[in-house]
Amino acid sequence: MSCIISNKFQVRLERCDIAACEAMCCYDGAYLEPDDEVRIQAAMANYPEFFRQVPENPVVSENWRGFGAGRKTARRPWRYRRVIPAHFTSTRCVFAEDNGYCSLESAARAHGLHPWTFKPTACFLFPMPGNDSRKGPIPPGKDPHDLGPDYPGYATIVDCGKHRPEGRPWREVLREELEVIETPIDHYFAMWEASIDRQATSA
């Protein structure tokens, strides 16, 4: 049976509890924009203590089910305590810490930076699609990664992207994400680069 959703449909969300969801949205890693790779490399070069678990080549080239070749974060095997969707693999992004937090975000927070200074765009905008985030999260029945019974979707299936009738309007839940669309993360990264340059000059 097809699911008909009107254009006026408003997705309602709940923030996920990472201890419960185990960062399931990170199971396959994340596809990157060119600037993302620059920001990741900068974080690893300046704060290596946060990336001891990360392999030497944490970014790889892949073409997910023919959607198009791209650079993405690599994955590592991971055993989930919870039941995960049958079409997800038992893996997680190499930047995910054992507790599910993102090491790129941990490095930024520990240094008093905007928490997403080094994080891939697709990750900090999620569950809004990176290429059309102003429209908000994907309504049920419209998941672009719903490929049928073999792979019935992604963003509308994980805890933080799933529509919940009892949840809050997505614009409330994703207020910080919407702010970073207005003030792009490049702004925060440039501020950080300038501070690093100043430290190097005064050393």
Nearest C-alpha neighbor of 135 from the set 4, 16, 5, 2? 5
Number of residues that bind ligand SF4 (CB under 6 A): 12
Please tell me the total number of residues recorded for the chain in this structure: 203
In the numeric block, which tokens belong to residue 164? 């919940």
Rg from Cα positions in the chain? 18
- Binding to ligand SF4 in span 120-149, by CB under 6 A: 120, 123
Between CA 8 and CA 127 the distance in angstroms is: 18
Site for ligand SF4 contains 161 (CB under 6 A): no
Task: Give the C-alpha separation, 128 to 148, whole Å.
Answer: 21
Query: In the complex with ligand SF4, which residue's Cβ is closer, 130 or 141?
Result: 130
Tokens of 125: 């905008």
Beta bridge partners of 71: 61
Does 180 sit near ligand SF4 (CB under 6 A)? Answer: no
Region near ligand SF4 per CB under 6 A, out of 63-71, 96-104, 108-116, 176-184: 96-104
User: Min. distance of Cβ 165 from ligand SF4 in angstroms?
Assistant: 27
Q: Is 106 in the site for ligand SF4 (CB under 6 A)?
A: no
CB of 134 to ligand SF4, least distance (A): 21
Q: Where do contacts with ligand SF4 occur on this chain (CB under 6 A)?
A: 26, 29-30, 73, 93, 95-96, 102, 104, 119-120, 123
